[in-house]
């Protein structure tokens, strides 16, 4: 297949990261936006201090590093606080993602971007194909409570803080339903990979004309 960037997104506990890892096994570089953000908080002291000035010094640990858990507790379920966090962090995160994508593509032609906020960041236009990983709120709630040891109320706040699935799916080129087994997810990833191969056999200019 030709070189491409495949964006993988989905709401919390949908299984988007597992989907991205399965696609990585197909022969793609993987850029994990959460990992990039974590690294960003580690080296961008100006950003961290700006967050502390906005949300208070309690979000910092004794070594002045960001306590992401405490920050998350302050913003989940509070739209105004989440909007403020995004306003501060998103410009730096977008730049960091672009740099990571550029460096990764020097090594591999095909790349998977695993990011919950591809659409919210306005990053959908920077990928060639967008995959949305979907699961019902009930399934995601159960997964989130189990994996993160959260109460039902805390898990619901995290789920409800995100853009609804139906608003995101309309932006996707492909939708993967992930509510049952890992084997079923693997089957869907295999089918997606075959579809990508077929699409990439058609010159990109012809595909754009058809659209």
> How many CB atoms are located within 10 Å of the residue 35 CB?
12
Whether the model clears a pTM of 0.85, i.e. scores above it, the answer is: yes
Tokens encoding 18? 């597992």
For residues 64 and 44, give the distance between their C-alpha atoms in angstroms, rounded to a whole number: 12
Which residues does 139 contact at the CB level (< 8 Å), separation at least 6?
Answer: 13, 179
Asked if residue 150 lies in contact with residue 29, where contact means CB atoms within 8 angstroms, the answer is no
> How many CB atoms are located within 10 Å of the residue 114 CB?
27
pLDDT tens track, the chain, 211 positions = 678 999 999 999 999 999 999 999 999 999 999 999 999 999 999 999 999 999 999 999 999 999 999 999 899 889 999 999 999 999 999 999 999 999 999 999 999 999 999 999 989 999 999 999 999 999 999 999 999 999 999 999 999 989 999 999 999 999 999 999 999 999 999 999 999 998 877 644 454 555 5
CA torsion angle for 126, 132, 137, 141 (degrees, to 10)?
A: -80
SS3 113: strand
Tokens encoding 45? 């002291």
**Ordered domains of the chain (ranges, CATH):** 4-206 (3.40.50.300)
Burial (CB < 10 A; 0-12, 13-18, 19+), residue 186, is middle
CA torsion angle for 109, 112, 117, 120 (degrees, to 10)?
A: 40
């Amino acid at each position: 297949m030709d070189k491409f960037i495949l964006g993988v997104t989905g709401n919390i506990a949908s299984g988007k990261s597992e989907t991205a890892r399965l696609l990585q096994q197909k022969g793609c570089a993987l850029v994990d936006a959460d990992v990039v953000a974590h690294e960003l908080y580690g080296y961008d002291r100006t950003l961290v201090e700006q967050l502390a000035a906005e949300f208070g010094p309690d979000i910092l640990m004794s070594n002045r590093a960001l306590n992401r858990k405490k920050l998350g507790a302050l913003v989940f379920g509070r739209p105004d606080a989440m909007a403020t966090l995004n306003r501060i962090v998103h410009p730096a995160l977008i730049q960091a993602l672009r740099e990571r994508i550029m460096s990764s593509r020097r090594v591999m032609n095909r790349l998977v971007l695993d990011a919950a906020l591809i659409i919210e960041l306005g990053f959908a236009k920077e990928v060639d194909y967008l995959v949305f990983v979907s699961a019902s709120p009930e399934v995601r709630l159960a997964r989130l409570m189990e994996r993160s040891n959260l109460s039902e109320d805390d898990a619901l706040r995290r789920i409800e803080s995100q853009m609804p699935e139906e608003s995101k799916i309309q932006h996707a080129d492909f939708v993967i339903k992930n509510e049952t087994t890992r084997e079923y997810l693997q089957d869907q990833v295999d089918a997606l990979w075959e579809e990508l191969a077929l699409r990439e056999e058609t010159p990109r200019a012809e595909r754009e004309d058809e659209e």
